[in-house]
Amino acid sequence: MRLFPRLFLGHLLVTVLALGALLGLAEWSAPAFYHHHVQQMVALLGPEGRALQPDLERGMRGTLTGALLAALPFAALVAAGTALLTSQRIVRSVRLLSGGSQALAGGDYARRLPEEGRDELAQLAHHFNVLAGELDRVEQDRVALIGNVGHELRAPLAALRGYAEALSDGVLPPEQAAPAMTRELRALERLAADLSLVSRVEAGQVALHLGPCEAGELLRAAAERFADAYEDRGVALRVTPPPGPLPLLADFERALQVLSNLLANALRATPGGGHVTLSARAQAGQVVLSVTDSGHGIPAQHLERIFERFYRVDPARTRGDGSGVGLTIARGLAVQMGGTLRAQSGPGGSTFTLTLPAAEAPRDGG
């Protein structure tokens, strides 16, 4: 059965039941009402009015019953009208939703539904539009990811082809071509590993081993890992340890990986003769680890986007600048450890702030 007949029958049934209940209530309560008022009229008319008492009661009851029965066709007409209007609204919304769903299934993520009114149907249209928007964003991210991966792969593959051709033509001897080809292969391996990691980080599938860590130890381990790279570039790496024990709750290796990504990013952004500072401090039940560089800074419109996959402030910097997902991995790991990763920047450089939950300091026994 179609929607309109079902709604009409439902409305009509409710109307008939309501009229029946009203008629039954009138038949049950009216006799006492009739009798009381007829007695008053008989008293006014005198003894001759008693002969009119049965006719008066029948007339009043017949009038009330006739009025209720006469209202039934009008109630049925109103029920049909309301059912028609309701069914048209519902059917129109269902058809729009069905057409929109088919469009989404066909890949048309730009489809949107009109949001009319404030009822549940309007809320359904709103939620559909939110879903379509999210799918559209995911599709754009997918297309951008494919393009970015292809772009990142193109450079090392082109270099490998060039070295292979030079080696084949005898332009380069094997002892010169082999190190260069090995370097490009390592770049490809690093890109593949980073892509695998960023996908697991965004899916929340990275295994973490949370436990108490010492902030000062994290800073020292990160500084030791990058000491040679900073020395080769002529950039000073300064460490400002906390004045005393500063325990935090994190996965030590993953927290070290976040700091490593930040230090690698700071090294690329800082020219020779500059400096990068590693520091840690306590703040309202949290531990704040900061990496501050003396580079040229990041424009304000790029600050949040630098955490997106493959996003570069300067698109021209594509080789030797990492895989383009280091900051994405760093923020994802920070969030999974219950912390945050934010960036601030100005003309004098940039500061990346990793905030992690503080751990309760161990108490001395005794």
- Given a cut of 90, is residue 160 above it in pLDDT? no
Which pLDDT score is estimated for 355?
95
Which pLDDT score is estimated for 328?
86
Do 346 and 239 have their domain in common? yes
Q: Does residue 114 form part of some domain?
A: no
Which pLDDT score is estimated for 19?
64
Do 282 and 304 have their domain in common? yes
Q: What are phi and psi of 339, to 5 degrees?
A: -120, -165
Which pLDDT score is estimated for 358?
92
Q: Does residue 218 form part of some domain?
A: yes
pTM exceeds 0.75 for this model: no
- Given a cut of 80, is residue 15 above it in pLDDT? no
Q: Does residue 22 form part of some domain?
A: yes
Do 337 and 229 have their domain in common? yes
Which pLDDT score is estimated for 168?
84
Final residue belonging to a domain, choices 202, 235, 269: 202
Which pLDDT score is estimated for 353?
94
Q: Does residue 115 form part of some domain?
A: no
Which pLDDT score is estimated for 351?
93
What is the residue-averaged pLDDT of the chain?
78
Instruction: Enumerate residues 6+ apart whose C-beta is below 8 A from 319.
Output: 155
Which pLDDT score is estimated for 68?
64
Do 87 and 133 have their domain in common? no
Do 129 and 53 have their domain in common? no
Which pLDDT score is estimated for 262?
93
Beta bridge partners of 231: none
Do 281 and 183 have their domain in common? no
Which pLDDT score is estimated for 364?
43
Task: Average the pLDDT over each of 82-91, 304-313, 336-345 and give the range with the smallest value.
Answer: 82-91
Determine the angle formed by the axes of helices 215-233 and 252-269, rounding to 10 degrees: 30
Q: Does residue 364 form part of some domain?
A: no
Across residues 218-247, what is the average pLDDT?
92
Task: Average the pLDDT over each of 162-166, 238-242, 353-357 and give the range with the smallest value.
Answer: 162-166
More confident residue, 237 or 57: 237
Do 197 and 239 have their domain in common? no
Q: Is the dihedral of CA 159, 164, 167, 173 positive or negative?
A: positive
- Given a cut of 70, is residue 85 above it in pLDDT? no
CATH code, domain with 338: 3.30.565.10
Do 22 and 153 have their domain in common? no
- Given a cut of 70, is residue 40 above it in pLDDT? no
Do 351 and 281 have their domain in common? yes
Across residues 228-256, what is the average pLDDT?
92
Do 295 and 247 have their domain in common? yes
The gap between the terminal CA atoms of the chain, to the nearest Å, is: 81
**Which domain covers residue 100, as residue numbers?**
3-105
Res. 102 pLDDT band, cuts 50 70 90: confident
Q: Is 298 within 8 Å of 313 (Cβ atoms)?
A: yes
Q: Does residue 366 form part of some domain?
A: no
CATH code, domain with 129: 1.10.287.130
Measured CA to CA, the distance from residue 124 to residue 166 in angstroms comes to 63
Task: Average the pLDDT over each of 126-130, 224-228, 261-265, 277-281 and give the range with the smallest value.
Answer: 126-130
What domain count does the chain have? 3
Q: Does residue 78 form part of some domain?
A: yes
Do 75 and 177 have their domain in common? no
Final residue belonging to a domain, choices 177, 202, 227: 202
Final residue belonging to a domain, choices 163, 185, 202: 202
Instruction: Tell me how far the alpha carbon of residue 250 is from its chain's centroid.
Output: 25
Q: Does residue 7 form part of some domain?
A: yes
Do 55 and 173 have their domain in common? no
